[in-house]
């Protein structure tokens, strides 16, 4: 998965009251901050210094240019001096991209021995930030504020984390979900308002008949499957177990056919996420298991049972996390014993192997539902660590994002009769409280689990998207 080549534009706020010489100093210091932030190695996307802003007309022109440039993901603003905030009103009302107010000061200390009124004419962040903050608050902007010295590692990490959220926000408006079939019959939580999703979240959600997919799957060349089979043997452990060798190879190869076919279908039409439904597979030999797992590994969003909301959310959070350990999940079964409280997360087949802590095995087993041939799937053990678990639910008054921080761990034992990938987690507030509040908020059983994303990034993302966030922490 490759994210677009985004950059962020940086401006310093000032005014003409202190003379041209001071404005040159403002520019010099701001440029130095940008240079040092880029050199820190912490930022996932570069910052470009775009000058010192001193007039309402200049600021308005700048913000319009930010809106117009597709590769610019957002604005960072710093007030080196006092910048009269009425100048920012028109431009910031027009700005349609994320805004970060870097409330920093060029020096990290008070230079007691040398400080004088020349120094004070230039270094006014302490009060300049308040003037700028007032107008942002007055306008009701949902801007991020990062406060502290720009060389502080925590400050740099906050900027880096926000950059990833801002890029995900920009990319949200490019997410296109391909639905093969409808949502699972009679199920409520996977439903939703697709028009509202496009208005509020930027997601395009389209239906395609599975028959159109079957044509593409059937047309995949045997030589392409040969190449994928060789890669599979290198990356994973092939485990035929009780299957005879011929059947095993056929069923694995058919999943690779589905993998290549779905990938081509999506790529040809610009889709970056998809969902399947085991009730709607006519013409396919198997429910896509290994196929869906490989596509998730590659960065595509996925939702089972027609769950397009989770498919889009998976894609969105994979962009935010650079496809690092961020996966579609389902609350599968529970350990309710004191001291062991946990949710076992899994799915029938479709669990993303980017969270594997061992080498995944390719296995072929029967599947009771769907009435199809035994699907090949990757079986593996999840990982230990801190994470977040997130879902999106649709209500009449808009989308609601529900999440909790979680402690993730590996299964306590193997499950020889349940051949699926397994990941356990416990809400950090505890299973009883966490799950009670989740259920009360109307959160579904399909989620995105991430080891990479920080709680603050979920808060910032919900704020940018304008969705109600239910935080269970």
Binding positions for Mn ion, rule: CB under 5 A: 304, 330
Q: Which is nearer to Mn ion, 80 or 446 (CB)?
A: 446
d(CA 330, CA 274) in angstroms, rounded, equals 16
Q: How far is the CB of 96 from Mn ion (least distance, A)?
A: 36
Q: Which is nearer to Mn ion, 30 or 304 (CB)?
A: 304
Q: How far is the CB of 447 from Mn ion (least distance, A)?
A: 10
Q: How far is the CB of 307 from Mn ion (least distance, A)?
A: 7
Q: Which is nearer to Mn ion, 87 or 310 (CB)?
A: 310
Exposed, middle or buried by CB within 10 Å (0-12, 13-18, 19+), for 16?
exposed
Cβ(63)–Cβ(92) below 8 Å:
yes
Q: How far is the CB of 164 from Mn ion (least distance, A)?
A: 28
Q: How far is the CB of 349 from Mn ion (least distance, A)?
A: 10
d(CA 49, CA 354) in angstroms, rounded, equals 36
Q: Which is nearer to Mn ion, 304 or 449 (CB)?
A: 304
Continuous H helices in 270-388: 290-297, 308-320
Helix then strand then coil, in percent of the chain rounded to 5, is 40, 25, 35
Q: Which is nearer to Mn ion, 150 or 332 (CB)?
A: 332
CA distances from residue 304 to 112, 350, 364 in whole angstroms, order as listed:
63, 8, 19
Q: Which is nearer to Mn ion, 255 or 277 (CB)?
A: 277
CA distances from residue 190 to 132, 297, 308, 310, 442 in whole angstroms, order as listed:
43, 23, 7, 8, 12
Q: How far is the CB of 348 from Mn ion (least distance, A)?
A: 7
Q: Which is nearer to Mn ion, 101 or 347 (CB)?
A: 347
Q: How far is the CB of 314 from Mn ion (least distance, A)?
A: 13
Residue 465 phi/psi, 5-degree rounding, is -80, -15
Phi-psi region of 128 (alpha: psi -120 to 50; beta: other; left: phi over 0): alpha
Exposed, middle or buried by CB within 10 Å (0-12, 13-18, 19+), for 464?
buried
Continuous H helices in 56-99: 56-68, 89-94
Q: How far is the CB of 346 from Mn ion (least distance, A)?
A: 10
**What is the spatial order of strands in the sheet that 361-364 belongs to?**
237-238, 361-364, 376-379
Cβ(426)–Cβ(341) below 8 Å:
yes
Q: Which is nearer to Mn ion, 83 or 183 (CB)?
A: 183
Please name the residue that has the structure tokens 């906050």.
Answer: 158
Give residue 39's Cα distance to chain centre: 25
Let me know how long the chain is. 473
Q: Which is nearer to Mn ion, 258 or 331 (CB)?
A: 331
Q: How far is the CB of 244 from Mn ion (least distance, A)?
A: 31
Helix (H, G, I), strand (E, B) or coil at 462: helix
What is the full DSSP assignment across 375-409?
Answer: PEEEE-B---EEEEEEEEEEETTEEEEEEEEEEEE
Q: How far is the CB of 431 from Mn ion (least distance, A)?
A: 20
**Kind plus residue range of the DSSP H or E element containing 214:** helix 210-218
Q: Which is nearer to Mn ion, 330 or 460 (CB)?
A: 330
Please name the residue that has the structure tokens 């999506």.
Answer: 266
Sign of CA dihedral 449, 451, 453, 459: positive
Q: How far is the CB of 209 from Mn ion (least distance, A)?
A: 22
Helix axes 290-297, 245-269, angle to 10 degrees: 50
The DSSP bridge partners found for residue 471 are 403
Q: Which is nearer to Mn ion, 304 or 421 (CB)?
A: 304
């Amino acid at each position: 998965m490759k994210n677009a080549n985004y950059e962020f534009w940086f401006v310093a706020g000032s005014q003409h009251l202190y003379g041209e010489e001071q404005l040159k100093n403002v520019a010099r210091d701001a440029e130095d901050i940008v240079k040092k932030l880029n050199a820190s190695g912490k930022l996932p996307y570069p910052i470009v210094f775009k000058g010192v802003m001193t007039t309402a007309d200049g600021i308005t022109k700048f913000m319009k240019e930010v809106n117009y440039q597709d590769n610019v993901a957002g604005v960072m603003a710093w007030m080196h001096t006092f910048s009269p905030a009425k100048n920012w009103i028109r431009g910031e009302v027009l700005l349609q991209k994320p805004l970060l107010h870097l409330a920093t000061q060029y020096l990290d200390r008070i230079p007691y021995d040398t400080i004088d009124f020349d120094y004070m004419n230039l270094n006014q962040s302490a009060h300049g930030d308040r003037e700028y903050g007032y107008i942002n608050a007055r306008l009701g902007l949902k801007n991020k504020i990062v406060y502290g010295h720009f060389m502080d590692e925590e400050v740099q990490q906050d900027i880096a984390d926000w950059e990833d959220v801002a890029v995900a926000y920009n990319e949200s408006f490019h997410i296109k979900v391909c639905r093969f079939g409808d949502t699972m019959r009679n199920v409520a939580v996977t439903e939703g308002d697709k028009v509202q999703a496009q208005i509020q979240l930027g997601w395009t959600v389209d239906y395609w008949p599975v028959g159109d997919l079957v044509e593409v799957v059937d047309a995949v060349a045997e030589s392409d499957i040969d190449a994928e089979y060789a890669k599979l043997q290198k990356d994973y452990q092939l485990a035929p177990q009780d299957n005879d060798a011929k059947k095993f190879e056929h069923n694995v190869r058919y999943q690779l056919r589905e993998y290549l076919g779905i990938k081509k279908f999506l790529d040809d039409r610009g889709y970056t996420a998809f969902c399947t439904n085991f009730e709607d597979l006519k013409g396919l030999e198997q429910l896509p298991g290994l196929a869906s797992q490989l596509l998730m590994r590659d960065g595509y969003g996925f939702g089972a049972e027609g769950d397009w909301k989770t498919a889009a959310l998976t894609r969105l959070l994979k962009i935010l996390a650079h496809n690092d350990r961020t996966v579609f999940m389902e609350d599968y079964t529970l350990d309710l014993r004191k001291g062991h409280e946990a949710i076992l997360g899994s799915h029938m087949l479709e669990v993303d192997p980017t969270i594997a802590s061992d080498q995944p095995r390719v296995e072929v087993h029967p599947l009771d539902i769907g009435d199809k041939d035994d699907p090949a799937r990757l079986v593996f053990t999840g990982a230990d660590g801190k994470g977040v678990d997130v879902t999106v639910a649709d209500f009449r008054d808009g989308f609601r994002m529900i999440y909790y921080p979680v402690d993730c761990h590996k299964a306590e034992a193997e499950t020889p009769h349940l051949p699926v990938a397994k990941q356990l987690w416990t809400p950090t507030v505890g299973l009883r409280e966490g799950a009670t509040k989740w259920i009360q908020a109307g959160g579904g059983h399909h989620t995105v689990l991430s080891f990479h994303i920080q709680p603050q990034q979920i808060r910032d993302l919900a704020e940018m998207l304008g969705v109600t966030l239910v935080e269970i922490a």
